[in-house]
Structure 1
Amino acid sequence: MRKILSIFLTGLLLFVLAACTATKDAGKESDSKDGKDSGEKVLYLNNGAEPTSFDPPIGFDSYSWTALNNLMEGLTRLNADHEPEGAMAEKWDVSEDGKVYTFHIREDAKWSNGDDVTAGDFVFAWKRLLDPETGSPAAFLGYFIEGGEAFNNGEGPADDVKVNAVDDKTFEVTLTSPQAYFLSVISNPAFFPINEKVATENPEWFAEADTFVANGPFKLTEWEHDSHFVMEKNDQYWDADSVKLDKVNWAMVNDSNTDYQLYKTGELDTADVPADLSKQLFEEGKVNVEDQAGTYFYRFNLDKEPFQNKNIRKAFAMAVDQQQMVDFVTKNKEKPAYGFVSSGFKDPSGNDFRETSGDLVKTNVEEAKALLEKGMEEEGYDKLPEVTLTYSTSDTHQKIAEALQQMFKENLDVDVKLANMEWNVFQDEQKAGKFQLSRSSFLADYGDPINFLENFQSGHSMNRTAWSNEEYDNLIKQAKNEADEAKRFELMYKAEKILMEDMPIIPIHFYNYVYLQNEDVSGIVRHPVGYMELKWADKK
């Protein structure tokens, strides 16, 4: 197994996806203000918004899986170096052809209610991830399991999904082809087990603190929706001796300035850096900066006029100045994005994917104007149909949207309307294809470029652009089944060029994680794939 994730610096971005209303109790715990009086070690963090869901296959976003990663645990877990190590699985065997994995679950692997974690819990959870009735946005991650894609597409039965409980503590899975990154993928929260007995008795077990059953370092003890939630150390966890914190209190504040003020007053232990204060804070040397595998971008909807036309899409994309966006709008030292796959992925020659693939879209105002004119002629437009740009509520997203609006006006003489809505509504509407042009973000689910590119396959749950290209689909399929790494990367380079030539998206910037942290706090690991690890965290 090559070191999949050692290529990254750590990273996490808490403001990426959602929106919520700050409450007067943000950053405070209902039972104890700071934990110091009782001698407890309490960490105060900001989740940014109400989690979408604590149901593992549904909570497929940073506002859910950051918490889930600390409440639950899969067969493997990413360690401090971002490499997969044994977690619920003590060890595993791999067949000679690299397709069959046999995991041996720890004898002391327990649920927070005292039940044993069994191989059956993994069979139940993984089939549920792939069940079309579940409607998981993460189901595509399980397509490398034999029978998984057919089951999810309604073309095959659950019985054909090759996951099997050999006995209570032995779990076997058969893959469609050898996957170099398999052990990293299954550390993702989508692959966490679910206590089958609990879920059968109460299908909504994940919806409230008093019914939530955990198997990770922490358990959920309080959840006041749209306000805060609290985790406490899980004494049933197999590695509880490694967990130093007693509690973690999560606020829900979607405004970076409020977040910062709560940090300044000691009510939060970490904070994002508001764009308005970034220059000062960077100069004072108080800011931590780490890279992350992810991209901030906008999606066109090819089912909505005028973006069925490729030249009009390219005109809008080339009217955007990514360098100005990071220099004067976000101001957090992000790298401008001129392709979709972020940097940090090395091909077999040791070259970075992003550098090799190159700049596939660049600001060019004159060409953008010519392309807009050409596209309008092709469609017979005397006047461009009205365009509305939609984003989810957050001060950061608003600033980027306003900057885009100004660029489209100045560079194309196009008036674009802005609309915003609360995260959960926004997410549902975007999935339903109701927006013309809308804000998006992608955080890598595992450490490989294919994870970025697979999102834009025809009909993929993460596509959300109505874009479809048969050649692109074939390249992704070939790459997923190619054992020769050099050939696999060549297929991915070709695929990204097609994606950016057809331009169903506008990349804006690559993510980094820019944050402030209490000097008394140590041991937090921020994984490049988008979630925070608190198992080894400590606080003086």
Structure 2
Amino acid sequence: MKKWLHVLWGIAIITVLAACTANSSSEEDNAEGDQAESGDTKTLLLNNGEEPTSFDPPMGFDSVSWNALNNLMEGMTRLGKDHQPEPAAAEKWEISDDGTVYTFMIREDAKWSNGDDLTAGDFEFAWKRLLDPETASPAAFLGYFIEGGEAFNNGDGSKEDVMVDAVSDKELKVTLSSPTGYFLNIISNPAFFPINESVAEENAEWYAEADSFVGNGPFTLDEWKHDSEMTFKKNENYWDKDTVKLDEVHWAMVNDTNTEYQMYESGELDTTNIPADMSEELMESDQLKVQDQAGTYFYRFNVNEEPFQNKKIRQALAMAVNQQDIVDYVTKNKEEPAYGFVSYGFEGPSGEDFREQNGNLVEFNAEEAEKLLEEGMKEEGYEELPPITLSYNTSESHKKVAETIQQMFKEHLDVDVTLENAEWNVFLQNQKDLKHQLSRSSFIADYAYPINFLESFVTDSSMNRTGWSNDEYDQFIEKAKNETDETKRWEHMYEAEKILFEEMPIFPIHFYNFVLLEKEGVSDVIRHPVGYLELKWADKE
């Protein structure tokens, strides 16, 4: 599989960086579609799939929010066309010799969409709000790299102890708890976008409607009909507005792939996912685009719910799932079946790919699955398994995968499973509240480093959502974060992932990729492997 990431290693590299700091659904009417193609107004027609969870940066921590939010706002850094961080709101930065202190210089011409100057205070306010336990951000763990961040978020420290300081209106100083060579990549995540402090103080719900939203990115939020559609317009106050070629972006919200494809065919969308039942035909299209993505489609067990308190029963169900069959006959989008959690594309200090080095940690084995189920039931004293419900968020593609897994459990283990679905926001909240027994899930990397996958499952992480806890696992993650020797850091990550699959609070299905059709004349829509859609350079003839 193509490698898309080459991580920069060590203090020597950090020094080089310091020296190079420069470095659902409403349909678009035909009239607007005709106007978009006439050349009078360049309007890109996209589908967001669902209503964004939130445009509040630390709260919209999911793919249905990121794609839009990444184009309404930007942080100190922005991922470029090569998927590496480049100067954005910050025109440059300096890094201390020990790699722990970053000083960002914000552009003099960086402004908010309402005309206010973008200040270092806006970043300090936003980053400390991300870490504030009262915010309850699911992305707060990303700020634990900052000195004092974890303690503040856990209630063991104060906001004043968080080492983010607006030295002046245009200078922000940040101290990390240990050298983190991928910090510039981390802060390109939408969770680190600034917030206009004066606007937020006047209206705590500033992000909830188009007429109150204030951003600093390439586009502004012109219209937002909730659960229906959104329209973005070019931000004339954006510091790099001359680079932005599109006048507008219109977003539908359609969560059915067949409907999405029909809209694409009728000219109502410029891109579309491929319906599974048309994949063989459309995979030969000259409009096809296939790109790598750093993420995993998987299922979570709730280990607090019977029968999944038993490790062998979890292992049995995981091993009864044939990942290869699912990608070959169900999803049919050229995905790689997943036999671990960290996806391909992460090269270690000696050049090895993480996934290849750590191997296959869970594979389909019906015979072993049957044996483990029998042993697990005996340990629990079960004559028969308690009822099992598999939950997924409403989507035709998720439904097909869930039905296939249901069939596999029946065929290989003679286990009956009930399916239930719910709309995304309800489903997600129930998963966070551990109300599901067994539920589908997905992970798209927040930044380009393997530990981002693995840190999701430490005890009490907001991303864990399984009830699982393992002290040894937590210790390996902690060691990996604090280790300065990259070879040792990777060894800690390898060991952590092995524990994850020995305990099996999750089981993977496939690694993600981008497989879609895109109209002729559309260019430079950048899809970063870590999951952000980039429209700053996009164009449409």
TM norm structure 2: 0.95
Determine the structure 2 residue equivalent to 1:74: 75
- Compared with structure 1, are the counterparts of its residues 281 and 36 closer, same or farther at alpha carbon in structure 2 (3 Å cutoff)? closer
- Compared with structure 1, are the counterparts of its residues 28 and 130 closer, same or farther at alpha carbon in structure 2 (3 Å cutoff)? farther
Distance 2:147 2:181 in 1: 16
Distance 2:271 2:37 in 1: 18
1:162 and 2:163 are equivalent in the alignment:
yes
Determine the structure 1 residue equivalent to 2:366: 365
Superposition pairs for residues 118-197 of structure 1, below 5 Å?
118-197=119-198
Determine the structure 1 residue equivalent to 2:472: 471
- CA deviation profile, 1:388-438 (whole Å, cap 9, x unmatched): 000000000000000000000000000000000000000000000001100
Aligned amino acid, residue 521 of structure 2:
D
Distance 2:211 2:409 in 1: 50
Distance 1:262 1:363 in 2: 38
Aligned amino acid, residue 179 of structure 2:
P
Distance 2:457 2:29 in 1: 41
Q: Is the 8 A contact 1:390 1:419 kept in 2?
A: yes
Determine the structure 2 residue equivalent to 1:521: 522
Superposition pairs for residues 75-474 of structure 1, below 5 Å?
75-474=76-475
Report the 3-state secondary structure (helix = DSSP H, G, I; strand = E; otherwise coil) of the residue aligned with 2:36.
coil
Distance 1:37 1:285 in 2: 23
Aligned amino acid, residue 356 of structure 2:
E
Determine the structure 2 residue equivalent to 1:18: none
Distance 1:34 1:252 in 2: 21
Q: Is the 8 A contact 2:6 2:347 kept in 1?
A: no
Q: Is the 8 A contact 1:4 1:181 kept in 2?
A: no
Q: Is the 8 A contact 2:476 2:493 kept in 1?
A: yes
Distance 1:342 1:102 in 2: 32
Q: Percent identity?
A: 67
Aligned amino acid, residue 496 of structure 1:
E
- CA deviation profile, 1:432-452 (whole Å, cap 9, x unmatched): 000110000000000100000
- CA deviation profile, 1:222-272 (whole Å, cap 9, x unmatched): 001111000000000000000000000000000000000100111100000
Determine the structure 1 residue equivalent to 2:494: 493
- CA deviation profile, 1:107-128 (whole Å, cap 9, x unmatched): 0000011100000000000010
Q: Is the 8 A contact 2:5 2:345 kept in 1?
A: no
Shift of 1:180: 1.1
Aligned amino acid, residue 344 of structure 2:
S
TM norm structure 1: 0.95
Q: Is the 8 A contact 2:346 2:354 kept in 1?
A: yes
- CA deviation profile, 1:278-329 (whole Å, cap 9, x unmatched): 0001134442111110000000000000000000000000000000000000
Q: Is the 8 A contact 2:4 2:292 kept in 1?
A: no
Report the 3-state secondary structure (helix = DSSP H, G, I; strand = E; otherwise coil) of the residue aligned with 1:283.
coil
Distance 1:504 1:4 in 2: 29
Aligned amino acid, residue 250 of structure 2:
N
- CA deviation profile, 1:483-537 (whole Å, cap 9, x unmatched): 1111111110011000001000010000011000011100111100001100000
Determine the structure 2 residue equivalent to 1:26: 27
Distance 2:362 2:77 in 1: 38
Report the 3-state secondary structure (helix = DSSP H, G, I; strand = E; otherwise coil) of the residue aligned with 1:383.
coil
- Structure 1 runs not aligned, ≥5 long: 8-20
Determine the structure 2 residue equivalent to 1:13: none
Shift of 1:29: 8.7
Shift of 1:149: 0.4
Distance 1:34 1:50 in 2: 26
Distance 2:446 2:176 in 1: 18
Aligned amino acid, residue 523 of structure 2:
S
Determine the structure 1 residue equivalent to 2:15: none
Q: Is the 8 A contact 1:6 1:82 kept in 2?
A: no
Report the 3-state secondary structure (helix = DSSP H, G, I; strand = E; otherwise coil) of the residue aligned with 1:420.
strand
Determine the structure 2 residue equivalent to 1:11: none
Q: Is the 8 A contact 1:6 1:81 kept in 2?
A: no
Distance 2:474 2:137 in 1: 21
Q: Is the 8 A contact 2:207 2:213 kept in 1?
A: yes
- Give the aligned length: 523
- CA deviation profile, 1:94-147 (whole Å, cap 9, x unmatched): 111110100000000000111000000000000100011111100000000011
Q: Is the 8 A contact 1:329 1:399 kept in 2?
A: yes
Q: Is the 8 A contact 1:4 1:83 kept in 2?
A: no
- Compared with structure 1, are the counterparts of its residues 31 and 225 closer, same or farther at alpha carbon in structure 2 (3 Å cutoff)? farther
Shift of 1:32: 7.2
- Structure 2 runs not aligned, ≥5 long: 8-23
Aligned amino acid, residue 236 of structure 1:
N
Determine the structure 1 residue equivalent to 2:11: none
Shift of 1:31: 7.0
Shift of 1:6: 4.7
Determine the structure 2 residue equivalent to 1:43: 44
Aligned amino acid, residue 276 of structure 2:
A
Q: Is the 8 A contact 1:205 1:212 kept in 2?
A: yes
Distance 1:332 1:460 in 2: 31
Aligned amino acid, residue 174 of structure 1:
T
Aligned amino acid, residue 503 of structure 1:
M
Q: Is the 8 A contact 1:295 1:443 kept in 2?
A: yes
Shift of 1:36: 4.2
Shift of 1:151: 0.6
Distance 1:398 1:4 in 2: 30
- Compared with structure 1, are the counterparts of its residues 33 and 312 closer, same or farther at alpha carbon in structure 2 (3 Å cutoff)? same
Q: Is the 8 A contact 2:298 2:510 kept in 1?
A: yes
Report the 3-state secondary structure (helix = DSSP H, G, I; strand = E; otherwise coil) of the residue aligned with 1:35.
helix
- CA deviation profile, 1:183-240 (whole Å, cap 9, x unmatched): 0000000000000000000000000001100100000000011110000000000000
Shift of 1:5: 3.7
242-251 vs 30-39, greater mean Cα deviation: 30-39
Distance 1:149 1:4 in 2: 31
Q: Is the 8 A contact 1:27 1:45 kept in 2?
A: no
- CA deviation profile, 1:372-394 (whole Å, cap 9, x unmatched): 00000000001100000000000
Shift of 1:349: 1.2
- Compared with structure 1, are the counterparts of its residues 410 and 4 closer, same or farther at alpha carbon in structure 2 (3 Å cutoff)? closer
- Compared with structure 1, are the counterparts of its residues 29 and 53 closer, same or farther at alpha carbon in structure 2 (3 Å cutoff)? farther
Q: Is the 8 A contact 1:46 1:250 kept in 2?
A: yes
- Compared with structure 1, are the counterparts of its residues 165 and 284 closer, same or farther at alpha carbon in structure 2 (3 Å cutoff)? closer
Shift of 1:27: 3.6
Report the 3-state secondary structure (helix = DSSP H, G, I; strand = E; otherwise coil) of the residue aligned with 2:105.
strand
